[in-house]
Amino acid sequence: MANKFRSIETKHYAERDAFFEDLKKLDRRAFMRVAGISAGIVAGMGLRSPHSFQLVNVADAQETKPRFSFAYISDTHLYEQKLNDRFVRAILKAVDDVNALDPQPDFVLFGGDLAQLGQASELKLGAQILKSIKAPVKMMVGEHDWFLDMGELWRELFGAPNYSFDHKGVHFVVLNSILEKDFWTEKKLTPMERMKIVAGLDNALQSRFEVGSEQREWLKKDLAKVDKKTPVIVFSHSPLYKYYKPWNFWTDDADEVQAILKPFDKVTVIHGHTHQLLSNQIANISFHGMLSTAWPWPYAPEGLPKLTVQMNRPDPFSQFDGCGNGRMDVLEAGLVNKLYNLWERNPITVRASYLTSGGKQDVPPRTKLPSY
């Protein structure tokens, strides 16, 4: 191979090297450089199309035309890079993807679980990487970010975990839905013990997720001033419905929260935590699960919403299979078409009409193998 063909990769490596180098020193000055280089990477990779996004061309009818789009990155579960660089590579891949979107999304939702064990090194690494996203970032908290210091550092870095905002006629609410009743004091657990218990799925030691009465009150107040015809989109890390309790794919006060959302015509809940293709419709609410960049989770043995079109079993030999990021197209009508940008496979779109028609219209491609 002639050497002249090596320029792209050499440049790519060189820039990546510098980027990773800088990630090691997380002082403020270094960050300025990281941000610059990161933009450089994006520019240097100008040829790199956000491939999965471009192909999905939809001859949308007028009424289902997107009003605007936002992208998401979720469940990155960062460890310190020197311990595990795979997850770091994955979030960078996702950042590259959303930065290469053309047109750019109005904002990028981060879906929670930035860190794996809520440690300062993990959260700060994540914060730095997320700063290289070109579009504005809306942060959401996950249990992996929270249970080491009960959200102290997260709030310092990103602000309040629950907030709301209006964007192009849609009311957005971000919840902290990973609160749990105290199970640690009585057991005399250290903060790290508590964190590790919450970080595991298949242990029965922890309580179940909840939004909690205080935040439900806040939600009621926040929605009181919103017109019932205004589309509402709720970001919640946990699913806001009851999927599978033993793995905490679950929100204990989901019914209460749903009741608060019931008066609104168009409600969409977008959640992380489950790391899989997941869709549900309960009365007026459409639920969309997000992909993780770190690893895919298998479907729970029971409780899977029947509208969910599962994703094919991931290939363990292919390091990013079953992972990815995605884009949400907010339609004129106020609901959301969701695009799963699965790395290592063809993209999959789940349309709002699929959910609202009870699975009769626009059925997404079915899986080829059953999950186990």
Q: Tell me how far, at minimum, the Cβ of 140 lies from another protein, in Å.
A: 27
- What is the rounded CA–CA span in Å between residue 175 and residue 212? 10
Q: How far is the CB of 73 from another protein (least distance, A)?
A: 17
Q: From CA 34, how far away is CA 270, in angstroms rounded?
A: 30
Using the minimum distance from each CB to another protein, give the nearer residue, 23 or 240. 23
Question: What minimum distance in Å lies between the beta carbon of 306 and another protein?
Answer: 17
Question: Nearest approach, Cβ of 98 to another protein (angstroms)?
Answer: 14
Nearer to another protein, 152 or 344 (CB): 344
Identity (one letter) of the amino acid at 209?
A: F
Nearest one of 238, 261, 232, 371 to 308, comparing CA atoms: 371
Give the nearest distance from C-beta 82 to another protein in angstroms: 10
* Minimum CB distance to another protein, residue 54 (Å): 7
CB nearer another protein, residue 226 or residue 309: 309
Helices assigned H by DSSP within 45-174: 51-55, 86-99, 120-130, 143-146, 152-158
**Nearer Cβ to another protein, position 111 or 364?**
364
**Residue 195 or 348 with smaller CB distance to another protein:** 348
Angle between helices 86-99 and 28-44 (to 10 degrees): 60
Contact (Cβ atoms closer than 8 angstroms) between residue 151 and residue 211: no
CB atoms within 10 A of CB 367: 14
HSE of 90, CA atoms in CB hemisphere, 13 A: 29
Closest-CA residue to 207 (of 251, 166, 170): 251
Are 297 and 275 within 8 A, CB to CB? yes
* Binding positions for another protein, rule: CB under 8 A: 1-3, 5, 7-9, 12-13, 16-17, 20, 47-49, 51-52, 54-55, 84-86, 89, 311-313, 315, 317-321, 342-348, 363-370
Cα distance from N-terminal residue to C-terminal residue, the chain: 44
Q: CB nearer to another protein: give 175 or 278.
A: 278
- For residue 223, the one-letter residue type is L
Which position has the token pair 């969701």?
338
CB of 121 to another protein, least distance (A): 18
Distance in Å, CB of 341 to another protein, minimum: 11
Instruction: Name the residue nearer to another protein (CB basis): 21 or 214.
Output: 21
C-beta of 2 vs 283, nearer to another protein: 2
Residue 82: Cβ-neighbour burial (10 angstroms; 0-12, 13-18, 19+): exposed
Omega cis (within 30) before 370: no
